[in-house]
Amino acid sequence: MKKVMCPKCGMEVIGGSGFWGTSKPYCSFCGWNLQLAKEIERKSLRQLPWTLLVFASFFAFVGYISKSGFTLFPFLFLSVFLVGGAFASWRKLRMLEASHPTAVYANALPSVMAAKESIKQARANPHQYLWSLAKPRRIRLKPVARVITIAFPISWMFIIYFEFPIVRDEIAVSSPLVTLRDLGPLLLFALIWSVIGITTIRSARRDRKLLSEGELAIAIVTHQELSGGKRRQSKIRYEFKDATGRLVRGGGTDESWELYEDMEVPVFYDAEDLGKNVALCAATCELRTD
């Protein structure tokens, strides 16, 4: 687990990504993100009754259809985990409210403000090296994007050269509907693979141009949340001002898993089309400094 430092006072924060899961990090020294951490736990508690109601309705319906009382056992089994998670959220919320009363942060101590200013001076610009890079900047594709952009055209050449004659011969000896039914899974895979490949190649072309020749700005993260199921992603939203002072908003996936609210993130944008912007952590390319 990487250490997350508070963007306000520079102290190491509590929470974040860990072995047992991911929670909203907060600073026990200056109170950064404290209210967000509380709100997440409150939201988890508010969802418990509705989740139990949905599960109860589902298993009651299954039990009514099957005329069996066996559905009571899986409902009770799942309810134990739901109630256990809610109890953990309740304990954490009590700890947050007891250990960090709001009054403590209403009047910040002078020492906290002095520490904040000294840390700002010490880390005047952690992204200074980005400003020193001359255009066009040297870039390279990230490993996943590199593999997809190479494998996608090769795979389609293979399909056209080898699979097309097979499909043509199958149609010649049988009806098109039978051939389509037999090749259904392959066609579905080809469709999904095409969407992934085309999307990645388009994103790579856009990001290559932005990182190589685009303007640079330092954005502030305004929102961070987790999305997805087993393969969870950290989604961020940010805002920055261009060279003329116009406010620009954007978003993307934080592949570093290190960004949270109020933190800085380098962003590259097209000065003529501000809608074209990408955060360095979310780009399919990376800068070469070697």
Per-residue pLDDT of the chain (290 residues; tens, 9 = 90+): 567 788 877 777 876 654 444 567 888 777 788 788 888 778 877 777 777 777 778 777 777 676 666 666 676 777 777 777 777 767 777 766 665 544 455 454 555 555 555 555 444 456 788 888 888 999 999 999 999 999 999 988 887 777 677 666 666 666 655 556 666 677 788 889 999 999 999 999 999 999 999 999 999 999 998 876 567 788 999 999 999 999 999 999 998 888 899 999 999 999 999 999 999 999 999 998 77
Which CATH number, 2.40.30, 2.30.29, 2.40.50, 2.60.120, labels domain 129-138+214-287? 2.40.50
As a whole number of angstroms, the distance between CA 28 and CA 41 comes to 17
* pTM attached to this predicted model: 0.69
pLDDT of residue 139: 93
pLDDT of residue 169: 66
Alpha helices, DSSP H, located in the chain:
34-66, 72-99, 102-106, 110-122, 128-131, 143-158, 164-173, 176-182, 184-213
Residue from 198, 114, 185, 125 nearest 156 by CA = 198
Indicate the domain borders of the chain: 14-122, 129-138+214-287, 140-207
CA distance to 87, 154, 217, per residue, from 79 (Å): 12, 50, 48
Q: Assess contact for 23 and 33: CB atoms under 8 A.
A: no
Q: Which long-range contacts (CB under 8 A, 24 or more apart) does 38-46 make?
A: 38/93, 38/96, 38/97, 41/89, 41/90, 41/92, 41/93, 41/96, 42/93, 44/85, 44/86, 44/89, 45/86, 45/89, 45/90, 45/93
In the numeric block, which tokens belong to residue 221?
């993260």
Residue 175 DSSP SS3: coil
Q: What is the pLDDT of residue 288?
A: 86
In this predicted structure, what is the pLDDT of residue 229?
59
State residue 212's pLDDT score. 94
